[in-house]
Amino acid sequence: MSAPIKNLFVNIGKSFICRRCTRALTSLSYPKKLLIGSLPTFTVQNIIPQNLENELKKESDKENKDLSSSALIRNGSVWAVDAATSILTQTTTALIEIEKQYIQAVYKLTDILKYKISALNKPHEEQLIWDIILQSRGDLQEIKKKRLELELLYTSVEKLMDVSAEVAYAAGAEYASVSAGERLYSSQREIENLKLLTVNADMELRQIEAQLIEETSKHVEREDQRKKDEEKLQNENEPNHQDDT
């Protein structure tokens, strides 16, 4: 029997073979007939050396551990994308809502300024209109402050989505990575479209403000001219009044 076969049988528990077989296996030379005739019938489990079983088990456990680690990392990256997407959704919703409030506030102020232009000849309404204008401008500034805070937050969320997508791709979760990119792009497009309405509203407000300044200046000039004309007329009437007396 060759050395590997000898080593194989030496590693088998001695309770499975007889004494004669044990002595034959441990000697340098052993009868071929004795070896064949004396050995009992072994199952597959009995002829696998115990140390080999342990080595195979260790290798199997190592492979399973590696597979489990990869799966956990991949699942964790997917959860990270889901969490980042949830933050993106909430931030986008809040930013869109505040953007709509800003647009409404701008148009409200624009309408008030338009009325102010039409009421330049109504001095009794001037103070009330100016009070409303100041209140509207204060509300607009408050909304702008909240919008700026959300815009800064949204910038951070964009970075979070980018990083989450990169991690997911590196971990083998390609679908989660692509999905994160698509959701971020969709959010950005929606906000950009709303920003166009904001730009139009701001432009109209600036035009009305310029028109108000111009009309107010003209109104002041007319009022000054009217006062001068009244004073001139009054001065002209005073000599005639003195002559009559």
- The token pair at 180 is 């994160």
Domain that holds residue 96: 77-244
Contacting residues for 141 by C-beta, under 8 A, at least 6 apart: none
104-113, pLDDT tens digit by residue? 999 999 999 9
**Per-residue pLDDT, 142:** 95
Stronger pLDDT, 194 or 227, i.e. the higher one: 194
- Looking up residue 227, the CATH number of its domain turns out to be 1.20.58.70
Angstrom distance (rounded) from CA 80 to CA 165 = 9
Residue 156 in any domain: the answer is yes
Number of domains forming the structure of the chain: 2
Residue 30 in any domain: the answer is yes
Average pLDDT over residues 208-237: 79
Count CB-CB contacts under 10 A for residue 14: 12
13 membership: H or E segment, kind and range? none
Average pLDDT over residues 5-16: 43
Q: How far is CA 11 from the centre of its chain?
A: 62
**Per-residue pLDDT, 52:** 47
Residue 41 in any domain: the answer is yes
- The token pair at 129 is 């209109």
43 pLDDT more than 50: no
Residue 53 in any domain: the answer is no
Does one domain contain both 89 and 154? yes
Angstrom distance (rounded) from CA 74 to CA 17 = 51
166-200, pLDDT tens digit by residue? 999 999 889 989 999 999 999 999 999 999 999 99
Contacting residues for 147 by C-beta, under 8 A, at least 6 apart: 95, 98, 99, 102
Does one domain contain both 86 and 43? no
**Per-residue pLDDT, 242:** 53
Does one domain contain both 146 and 194? yes
Does one domain contain both 25 and 111? no
Q: What value does the mean pLDDT of the chain take?
A: 77
Residue 225 in any domain: the answer is yes
Stronger pLDDT, 84 or 47, i.e. the higher one: 84
Residue 198 in any domain: the answer is yes
Does one domain contain both 160 and 106? yes
Q: What is the CA radius of gyration of the chain?
A: 46
Provide the CB-side half-sphere exposure for 137 (13 A, CA).
9
Residue 69 in any domain: the answer is no
119-139, pLDDT tens digit by residue? 887 778 878 888 999 999 999
- The token pair at 6 is 């000898």
To the nearest 10°, the Cα dihedral for 20, 21, 24, 30?
Answer: 110
Contacting residues for 150 by C-beta, under 8 A, at least 6 apart: 91, 94, 95, 98
- The token pair at 158 is 């964009």
Cβ(70)–Cβ(46) below 8 Å: no
